[in-house]
A = this chain, B = another copy of it.
């Protein structure tokens, strides 16, 4: 993982250093991810990825069988990254669900574009139909856990009377809908018309659903 480890292994094993290998793999994954997010699957050329990663074209094929494997492998790695901690966090004692959401979701949304999460959503939407495995992985890794967390919050909100209906229990997707919409909107219309402010939209949404003035 660092140069010393590499040197040590080198000393005893001769031949290519695993550290270097891991680093090469890392370059490829990073370059491929950036390129796929920017240009989509078929808009990405293997030579672009290689150039961006600083390796030769042939090297890509030492790590991934073909372009599709690269695509899926790279996205699998991205999705494996630690996720938004919506599931990890929980309302503080005495904190309303409304207040909790305002406190926790805000930073997530603010970080959406800066991190690659927004770009990943757009990519999944754009390519998911042609790559069912990608869609399924995304669902399993991102959507289902988030839905579970939302459902739990929704139950609590129903119990405490914050929500008047169990709509969010039955369709936890409803809580994510505004965030998804803003993400897609900004991907399409950011150039002409300026981006939509995700936090503002989400706050307005919470007002509408929970009643105004969420403190």
Contact residues of A with B, CB < 8 Å? 15, 39-40, 42-43, 56, 122, 124-130, 132, 135-136, 138-139, 163-165, 167-168, 170-171, 173-174, 176-178, 180-182, 184-185, 187-189, 191-193, 196, 200-201, 204-205, 207-209, 211-212
Contact between chains at B139 and A43 (CB < 8 Å): no
User: Can you tell how many copies of this chain the complex includes?
Assistant: 4
Contact between chains at A204 and B124 (CB < 8 Å): no
Q: Which 7 A-B pairs have the closest CB atoms?
A: A167-B204, A126-B126, A177-B177, A167-B208, A128-B188, A177-B181, A135-B188
Cβ distance A153 to chain B, nearest Cβ, rounded Å: 13
Measured CB to CB, the nearest residue on chain B to A119 is: B129
In angstroms, Cα B125 to Cα A184, docked, is 7
Measured CB to CB, the nearest residue on chain B to A211 is: B164
Contact between chains at B139 and A129 (CB < 8 Å): no
A-B contact pairs, 18 of them (CB 8 A): A122-B125, A128-B187, A135-B192, A136-B189, A136-B192, A138-B188, A139-B189, A139-B193, A164-B207, A165-B207, A165-B208, A167-B207, A170-B204, A177-B180, A180-B181, A181-B181, A208-B209, A209-B209
With known contacts A180-B177, A192-B136, A212-B164, A129–B204 Cβ distance under 8 A = no
With known contacts A204-B165, A209-B208, A129–B125 Cβ distance under 8 A = no
With known contacts A139-B189, A208-B163, A208-B164, A125–B128 Cβ distance under 8 A = no
Measured CB to CB, the nearest residue on chain B to A154 is: B208
Contact between chains at B188 and A174 (CB < 8 Å): no
Contact between chains at B130 and A40 (CB < 8 Å): yes
Measured CB to CB, the nearest residue on chain B to A187 is: B129
Cβ-defined partner of A188 (8 Å) among B124, B164, B177, B200: B124
